[in-house]
Structure 1
């Protein structure tokens, strides 16, 4: 089970982590000091249980919970509050929290609560894992299809009608967040608000057009509901977002082939209202951000899915965009970084090759040697021996000069 502890007080979150790690070593415990870190972890990790403080800077635990329910319906929530904040705990239960813990948190109460919810989660997981996987994959396919439509990419034989057959008519809704001040939390808020409203008013799918631009395709249960949906969207975003934003919607559409042109028109309309960067600039910015992230983390297990989520793009689109902008495939680029660092480290004779492999992200030294050999036509040992021979030859020439 994966547990996320969200609290701005390090003593509390680290104390909970120690207790859970000692009592339940089989569980993984993640920590977040504020809501945007929690939103990020909910997005990239498979979290089963969230223990969240009520009062935190930026966004309360209740707001985080309310925004996350639509996107992560399987997650169970437990609220942490002081006695003076008991009203928040009651509100949390109303919103669907399974339990609440009062500060100071007793170890016995914490352990008992996690044992009980852990048993429930295990039972639920066995029953819903397959269903959730199907739904998740279908959602990702629909997001990918919408992203391809937005960007005008080829579909490679994908049948759009089969993926989006529930949309005989639809509207496009674009939300633009101020680029210079937006971040993970703002993107998370917009994505979740759109998803929840689409579910409340009908059905739809949301995709990232860029780091700070999201486009939703929605079919309301009743056509006249769109203005109400837009008003509710603006109301919720004004309440939750701390940065300027714009909302643009199309008229009713009935052909998926119209989407690229409609998105282009919405982006042009937006440019007339704002001095934000154009779509190409957003793509360049996304790749620059991805490159910075990869250079900082290539020693770890860096996956395409993780990096694409960092820049808020679907994996398929990000992979194609990365190749287009850098001239290298995603995996090839990471291998290149690792191998260049390996060559640099091999110049240090005191470092074991197994240590070098581990430093650059390979736990298996044999795998590291195979990759190095494919890259440079020699093993790491051969490369180091070649360096040594060159140094000896240089020393020999110098001694006779």
Structure 2
């Protein structure tokens, strides 16, 4: 059995791995320090059981579980939470988690839970092996068909009977992501959201066709319309995606031969179409970024580093940060550092060089130049003006 442990705290990951491998040497333990790593492992490795923390940067364990249900319904989930996060655990059980573990995690309860779930997984695996094989073969066929359509290649030599029987008519849905960074997490989100919406409106499937685009095919049931599915898809993606995106769908298609031309039309239309941006997900990402800046302003900090922490493209993060805070990233960090420096100049007798280092400026001359440019005073002049001590011009480089 393959067990994936997802937690941003290394000590918890190591402790769980140690307990499991000692008691169950036959099981394999995979470790992920973030939801993005977990997504990659879930996509590339067979996973039977996931133990996930509730609160992590970028994406909660509950969101990770919700997005995984459509593509990997066989995976069993156990949520790890602190007592104060009990409401999250209740929501996890509602979403389908088999159990939750409270921190600190008891070894006996963990061992008993893994024994119970291990037996269930072994029985289910035996019953579903043949059915899973058939589903995988059909999925590969579908993905190959979509990829060839997207690339403008013909389908000669491809067996399309199972495909055509299930979808005598259909619509295509194309989603394009705007990012130069790794978009594995975003692809995972789009695939799962679109799959669930398709299943709610009819039947269909979706596949990643290149690093930025996904293509879906849906046959709607009677009474369902593409406008409703399209609106729901945009709404969900605005909430969860961490990068700008485009969505487009085709009219109803009844002839497979018409698909290549329709795909070319959709791609051309997207080239002239603007991108949409996510809303609440962006607010959450900027909240996390601001908290990180306030905690680490004394360290070496850059826009690229903070953007990577909240899983955003740096260019998009810069735009979103200014939109949410009213200041550019560099200006925000500078103002925060200077505010902390002024407080220390007013309330302490620390040397100016020490204050500069404490607020993130190891070069005291650079600090003094920035301070004077922003306030009109040197640090020593500011200290005198506020009635704190004697002049300390040493090293200010004025």
Which TM-score applies when normalising by structure 1? 0.67
On the 8 A contact 1:142/1:164 being kept in 2, the answer is no
Q: How many angstroms apart in 1 are the aligned matches of 2:130 and 2:267?
A: 39
Q: Deviations over 1:11-33 (max 9, x none)?
A: 00111001111111111100001
Cα deviations across residues 210-249 of structure 1 (Å, max 9, x unaligned)? 1010010111113642111111111111111011111011
Q: Distance in 2 between matches of 1:2 and 1:197?
A: 29
Structure 2 distance, partners of 1:118, 1:22, is 15
Counting only pairs closer than 5 Å after superposition, residues 247-286 of structure 1 correspond to structure 2 as 247-274=247-274
Q: How much has 1:153 moved relative to structure 2? A: 2.4
CA contact (8 A) 2:179 2:244 kept: no
Who is 2:84 aligned against? Answer: 84
Q: Is the 8 A contact 1:6 1:13 kept in 2?
A: yes
Show the counterpart of 1:56: 56
Structure-2 separation of matches of 1:245 and 1:156: 32
Return 5+ residue gaps in structure 1 as ranges.
276-401
What is the aligned-residue RMSD (CA, Å)?
1.4
Q: Work out the CA distance in 1 between the residues paired with 2:153 and 2:215.
A: 16
Aligned to 2:357: none
Higher mean C-alpha displacement, 239-248 vs 158-167: 158-167
Cα deviation code 1:291-343 (max 9, x no counterpart): xxxxxxxxxxxxxxxxxxxxxxxxxxxxxxxxxxxxxxxxxxxxxxxxxxxxx
Task: Report whether the alignment pairs 1:164 with 2:164.
Answer: yes
- 1:2-401 matches, cutoff 5 A: 2-181=2-181, 183-222=183-222, 224-274=224-274
CA drift at 1:130:
1.1
- Equivalent-residue separation in structure 2 for 1:100 and 1:241 (angstroms): 27
| Offset from partner CA, 1:369-399 (integer Å, 9 cap, x none) | xxxxxxxxxxxxxxxxxxxxxxxxxxxxxxx
* 8 Å CA contact retained: 1:181, 1:243: no
Q: Shift in Å at residue 154 of structure 1?
A: 3.7
Greater share of residues in helix:
1
Contact 2:175 2:213 in 1 (8 A): yes
Name the CA distance, whole Å, in 2 between partners of 1:161 and 1:131: 19
Secondary structure of the residue that 2:248 maps to in structure 1?
strand
Q: Deviation above 3 Å: which 4+ runs of structure 1? A: none
Q: Which entry has the higher C-alpha Rg, 1 or 2?
A: 2
Q: Is the 8 A contact 2:149 2:263 kept in 1?
A: no
| Cα deviation digits, residues 62-94 of structure 1 (max 9, x gap) | 000000000001000000000000011011000
Deviation of the 1:159 alpha carbon: 2.8
* Structure 1 contact 194–233 (Cα < 8 Å) conserved: yes
SS of the equivalent of 2:209 reads strand
- Matched position secondary structure for 1:251: coil
Q: Which secondary structure state, in structure 2, belongs to the residue aligned with residue 174 of structure 1?
A: strand
Aligned residues of 2:170 and 2:254 also touching (Cα < 8 A) = yes
| Change beyond 3 A, Cα 1:172–1:111 | same
Is residue 179–residue 243 contact of structure 2 (8 Å, CA) maintained in 1? no
Distance in 1 separating the partners of 2:268 and 2:173: 14
Rounded to whole Å, the distance in 2 between the matches of 1:258 and 1:208 is 21
Distance 1:28 1:156 in 2: 42
Q: CA contact under 8 A between 1:82 and 1:102: conserved in structure 2?
A: yes
Instruction: Using structure 2 for the length normalisation, give the TM-score.
Output: 0.67
